[in-house]
Amino acid sequence: MRSPADEATRWLIHAQDEYQDAEELRKRERFYLALFHFQQAAEKALKAFLYAHIDDRRVFFTHSVLELIQAVVDLDPDLADLEKAGRLDQYYIPTRYPNGLPGGVPSRFYNDPKEAAEASSLAHQVLQAVARRLEK
């Protein structure tokens, strides 16, 4: 069984890799996929933080960035400014499934480079904050 620190490191590495993949997708203007992977990168980084700090694994059954941020803030109130990254939750389902976006096709609907840049920034803030905390 891995130590909490080792498990946290695994999750953070994967989150960082997923963020880089999302950035490549954003540059290729595959915004619907980039948005989903920015959400995923933030989710996995937050789970990395939680793996390092708690034994209660029930929080890991959510995919909500906002719920994970709330759990993180309970442990480290200085991370409350990450709550704005909860907006990434809007990209979890509708970016992947046509029936998650009534009347639209995700690969055609998500076409705003500014929206993707904002999602990138939010995910990056989460990854940076978690990485700094895990280095301590």
CATH says 4-135 is which class?
mainly alpha
Q: Please determine, for residue 57, whether its predicted confidence score (pLDDT) is greater than 70.
A: no
pLDDT tens digits, one per residue of 32-46: 999 999 999 999 999
The structure's pTM equals 0.95
- Provide the b/e sequence for 43-68 (b: ≥16 CB within 10 Å): bbbbbbbbbbbbeeeebeebebbbbb
φ, ψ of residue 76 to 5 degrees: the values are -145, 90
Q: Letter for the amino acid at 106?
A: P
Instruction: Give me the residue spans of the domains in the chain.
Output: 4-135
pLDDT tens digits, one per residue of 58-95: 667 899 999 999 999 999 999 999 999 999 999 999 99
pLDDT confidence bin for 27, thresholds 50/70/90: very high
